[in-house]
Amino acid sequence: MVATTLNTSKSEEIFAGAQKLMPGGVSSPVRAFKSVGGQPIVFDRVKGAYIWDVDGNQYIDYVGTWGPAICGHAHPEVLNSLKEVLEKGTSFGAPCVLENILAEMVIDAVPSIEMVRFVNSGTEACMAVLRLMRAFTGRDKVIKFEGCYHGHADMFLVKAGSGVATLGLPDSPGVPKSVTSNTLTAPYNDLEAVKQLFADNPDQISGVILEPVVGNSGFITPDAGFLEGLRMITQENGALLVFDEVMTGFRIAYGGAQEKFNVTPDLTTLGKIIGGGLPVGAYGGRRDIMSMVAPSGPMYQAGTLSGNPLAMTAGIKTLELLHKPGTYEQLDKITKRLANGLLAVAKETGHAICGGQLSAMFGIFFNQGPVHNYDDAKKSDLTKFSKFHRGMLERGIYLAPSQFEAGFTSLAHTEEDIDKTLAAAKEVMSMI
Ligand code: HOZ
């Protein structure tokens, strides 16, 4: 165990109180630090690339509130716009022009999206998109990939990633078998398995949904031809292809992974970045499919807070900042420095690790590699990851508390931040 020198007494006290009030003391499981040991850090404030805990410790943050903070936390332009809009109220439950503005920005940016519906989270977006897949095709089954996470709706809690993988819970009680019997799974990057599922379930599969770059089993990239192959197989079988770009949207590129890999799905889900740190999700795609959504069409889906002015404002400002020339080059450069640096430090200190980055998303596995899918990711040395995580935390580096979550950088991270991170990693890797 890497020695504990960090004073987190206030965090511990608050978390002890939280455990009596909320299941596990948290509002979402991964952040409870269950898989890395120790107690979660209770935050007080965030700014740029940094977070401060309630004991006054400062950390360089590579979680970025799990993705939204791509411009850096509490960006002054985002905050100023929010302050202005706040004066007009927090929710209308009625149309507002800000929805048009964000919708237009999303439609302009994301190749597959011709029409969009705003919701309040990535989970909601994925729930709705699945209903739409079924409504449009008249088929009930769906293919998802092992270790991919599409939120916590019943149909998706089958061999799921993120918190489910982190806590080692294969599936979840409370999810009826009758529901998950329509969820078919294949290993990520395995086109033959997908072809077989289509062959075994003729005219029954509504489509394939995936994270085009996986962030919820750790960071896993698609093999050459995988996304193109899925596009072809779905088309041949009259099924839909859906990219869950809740993590990758506006992160891998302004137009998401679909722009980067030049593969256009039929439908896309978004979240995180398009809300600039406020609760937002969205689903969108081909006009003929989206026209099925109520009140245009018969597929019902609704939400009181959907399209609320604050979330729309934070999203609009965040996309404006991201749309400036050079942002993605900057994100790529800084993240490459980090990922390559971590791989080099591991080599120098004799650890078998693999990993990489794409734009502002990265990950390493304590695993010889290569990692093509969740089964490969599971071969990682989780004890070593925990020690690494703790050692980094002690040195003021906040990483996702799970081997099965990707890391995120932002426009606020500097070369100096990366170099401090690498120096800390060298110290820790020399000790574990
Ligand atoms: N499901 C998200 C991570 N992939 C959020 C986790 C959290 O906020 O605790």
* Mean pLDDT, rounded, for 102-127: 98
Beta bridge partners of 361: 358, 408
Helices (H) and strands (E) in the chain, counts: 15, 14
The phi and psi torsions of 276 (rounded to 5 degrees) equal 50, 25
Does residue 181's CB lie within 6 angstroms of at least one atom of ligand 1? no
Among protein residues, the one with the nearest Cα to ligand 1's atom 5 is 66
Does residue 66's CB lie within 6 angstroms of at least one atom of ligand 1? yes
Distance CA 297, CA 145 (A): 30
pLDDT band at residue 298 using 50, 70 and 90 as cut-offs: very high
User: Looking only at Cα atoms, what is the longest distance across the chain?
Assistant: 61
Percent of the chain with pLDDT over 70: 98
Q: Provide the 10 A C-beta neighbour count for residue 304.
A: 8
Does residue 148's CB lie within 6 angstroms of at least one atom of ligand 1? no
* Mean pLDDT, rounded, for 76-94: 97
Q: How far is CA 50 from CA 154, 195, 379, in A?
A: 35, 45, 32
pLDDT of 165 reads 77
* Mean pLDDT, rounded, for 105-124: 98
Among protein residues, the one with the nearest Cα to ligand 1's atom 1 is 162
Question: For the chain, how are helix, strand and coil distributed in percent, rounded to 5?
Answer: 40, 15, 40
pLDDT of residue 2 exceeding 90: no
- Mean pLDDT estimate for the chain: 96
pLDDT of residue 280 exceeding 50: yes
Structure tokens at 166: 């982190």
Is 398 one of the annotated active-site residues of the chain?
A: no
Instruction: Map out the domains of the chain with their CATH numbers.
Output: 9-62+325-431 (3.90.1150.10), 76-322 (3.40.640.10)
Is 254 one of the annotated active-site residues of the chain?
A: no
pLDDT of residue 3 exceeding 60: no
- 210-219 in b/e form (b: 16+ CB < 10 A) is bbbbbbbbbb
pLDDT of 1 reads 42
* Mean pLDDT, rounded, for 106-135: 98
> End-to-end distance of the chain based on CA atoms, in angstroms?
8
The one catalytic residue in 272, 317, 378, 387 is 272
Report the SS3 class of residue 317.
helix
Chain segment 400-430, per-residue pLDDT in tens: 999 999 999 999 999 999 999 999 999 999 9
- Whole-prediction pTM value? 0.97
Taking the CA of residue 247 as reference, the ligand 1 atom at the shortest distance is: 4
The phi and psi torsions of 143 (rounded to 5 degrees) equal -105, 125
Distance CA 168, CA 164 (A): 6
pLDDT band at residue 163 using 50, 70 and 90 as cut-offs: confident
Chain segment 360-387, per-residue pLDDT in tens: 999 999 999 999 999 999 999 999 999 9
pLDDT band at residue 4 using 50, 70 and 90 as cut-offs: low
pLDDT band at residue 246 using 50, 70 and 90 as cut-offs: very high
Chain segment 37-54, per-residue pLDDT in tens: 889 999 999 999 999 999
Distance CA 326, CA 49 (A): 19
pLDDT band at residue 170 using 50, 70 and 90 as cut-offs: low
